[in-house]
């Protein structure tokens, strides 16, 4: 598992291993801002690092290869459903963060979701299911709505709840966490 240290943005930078240095598009917002990602970039970049904090929102986020998301302090990030899905998404969410309309083709990895955060394949409608979903640390009353076609792996604790569609592979549930089929 990846250690979560330092600022949330620094952690996302550390996991953006497949995005070549200097070739990833990055956007950060905080302090009650609301930004349409498409107005910042003329088209979807191949790799993107997106950070939202302090009651802010970035919507219509897109990427064609890899998307690294950091959401904190009531921040909200939603993806654009009409664009191609990236192959890989990495997420860190803390303190009531919300990441929704997740669209990814190969693998979704939630490095950490804590503090009543919500990670969902849907906000208004289900997008698509990746091959694999990995939740490395889900805790502190966080909620997950995920689907996968090949495997769902999750480590949940502290009253976290996983709603799932697809095959469960490796699941660890402790300290009041639960898993439920998503219908």
Instruction: Write out pLDDT tens, residues 104-131.
Output: 999 999 999 999 999 998 866 666 799 9
User: What's this model's pTM, rounded to 2 decimal places?
Assistant: 0.87
Classified as helix, coil or strand, 66 is strand
Q: Is residue 147 part of a domain?
A: yes
Q: Is residue 1 part of a domain?
A: no
Beta bridge pairs of residue 120: 145
Cα–Cα separations (whole angstroms), residue 150 to 21, 69, 171: 31, 23, 14
Q: Per the domain annotation, does 103 fall within a domain?
A: yes
| Span 55-89, pLDDT tens digits | 999 999 988 899 999 999 999 999 887 767 899 99
Residue 44: its pLDDT value, please?
84
Amino acid 84: pLDDT: 76
Which one is predicted more confidently, 41 or 105? 105
Residue 2 lies in a domain: no
pLDDT at residue 27, as a whole number: 76
Does 46 fall in a domain? yes
Query: For the chain, what is the largest distance between any 2 Cα atoms, rounded to a whole number of angstroms?
Result: 46
**Domain encompassing residue 140:** 8-181
Say yes or no to pLDDT of 164 above 90. Answer: yes
The answer to whether residue 30 sits within a structural domain is: yes
Domain count, the chain: 1
> Which three-class secondary structure state does DSSP give residue 112?
strand
Cα(74)–Cα(97) distance, integer angstroms? 5
Per the domain annotation, does 79 fall within a domain? yes
3 lies in a domain? no
Specify the DSSP element, H or E, that contains 44: none
């Amino acid at each position: 598992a990846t250690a979560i240290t330092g600022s949330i943005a620094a952690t996302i930078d550390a996991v953006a291993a497949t995005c070549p240095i200097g070739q990833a598009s990055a956007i950060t917002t905080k302090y009650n801002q609301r930004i349409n990602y498409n107005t910042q970039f003329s088209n979807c970049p191949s790799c993107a690092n997106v950070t939202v904090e302090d009651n802010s929102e970035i919507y219509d986020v897109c990427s064609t290869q890899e998307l690294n998301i950091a959401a904190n302090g009531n921040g909200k990030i939603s993806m654009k459903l009409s664009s191609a899905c990236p192959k890989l998404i990495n997420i860190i969410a803390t303190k009531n963060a919300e990441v929704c309309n997740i669209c990814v083709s190969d693998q979704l990895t939630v490095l950490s979701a804590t503090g009543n955060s919500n990670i969902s394949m849907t906000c208004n409608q289900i997008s698509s299911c990746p091959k694999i979903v990995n939740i490395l640390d889900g805790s502190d009353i966080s909620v997950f709505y995920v689907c996968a076609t090949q495997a769902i792996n999750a480590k949940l604790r502290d009253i976290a709840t996983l709603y799932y569609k697809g095959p469960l592979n490796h699941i660890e549930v402790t300290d009041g966490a639960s898993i439920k089929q998503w219908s």
